[in-house]
Amino acid sequence: MDAYKQEFIEFMVKSDVLKFGNFTLKSGRKSPFFMNAGAYVTGEQLMQLGRYYAQAIYNTYGLEFDVVFGPAYKGIPLSVITCIALHELYGKEARYCSNRKEAKDHGADAGMLLGSELKDGDRVIIVEDVTTSGKSIDETYPILMAAANVEVKGLMVSLNRMEVGKGGVKYALDEVSEKYGFPTAAIVDMAEVTEHLYNKECMGRVVINDELKAAIDAYYEMYGAK
């Protein structure tokens, strides 16, 4: 596993973004882990997060793109910090763009988008925190296509939960890729998280012990890809 992936896993734990225990998800599933990207709140955390996204995008998709698009709401700051980190780490000038939940009907920036305008021929990388069902892509992809004749080069999320999407067979990220025809990836997936944290200390404690590992395995027996 790449060093930046290991660092990112520990970063999620230290930032209290990735938690383990008993959680009820929006889907109604009972999960032994939960990720909340809204817990990244400090300047240092956001700076580091942008760097991890930039590294993962560079390693997966390269730098041949023009726009980083973040679906509202959590994707808005993600697109901004990723553009900053791309410039810092690779000298890459990318424009940020996000959608609004409600169209703005006044001013020079009226419409559904904020940040950069989209132009015909723009190559776009989409950034999200996590994809469980693909619902946000279903909402925002038509907005992208209506704005201009753009090409989506790929989607990058921070964590692949590695559970089935709406179809009940494939990973949610794979469903998105199959439906819309662009590649999808994550900085890390839950298999890598489990591998790195199982019976190892992080912040002076073992994060995933035998009991929690058994709960994670049981969860994937029920909700993992078939």
Annotated catalytic residues are 104, 106
Give the three-state DSSP class for 224.
strand
**Which pLDDT score is estimated for 145?**
93
Check if the beta carbon of residue 161 is closer than 8 Å to that of residue 129.
no
Joined together, the tokens standing for residue 113 give 């988008």
The tens-digit pLDDT sequence of the chain (226 residues) is: 889 999 999 999 999 999 999 998 877 889 999 999 889 999 999 999 999 999 999 999 999 999 999 998 889 999 999 999 999 999 999 999 998 866 655 454 556 788 999 999 999 999 999 876 667 788 889 989 999 999 999 999 999 999 887 777 888 899 999 999 999 999 999 999 999 999 998 888 999 999 999 999 999 999 887 6
Please give the Cα distance from 65 to 97 (Å, whole number): 13
pTM: 0.92
Please give the Cα distance from 75 to 95 (Å, whole number): 14
Q: Phi first, then psi: what are they for 88, rounded to 5°? A: -65, -45
**Which pLDDT score is estimated for 163?**
86
Please give the Cα distance from 26 to 76 (Å, whole number): 21
Cα–chain-centroid distance for residue 204?
A: 27
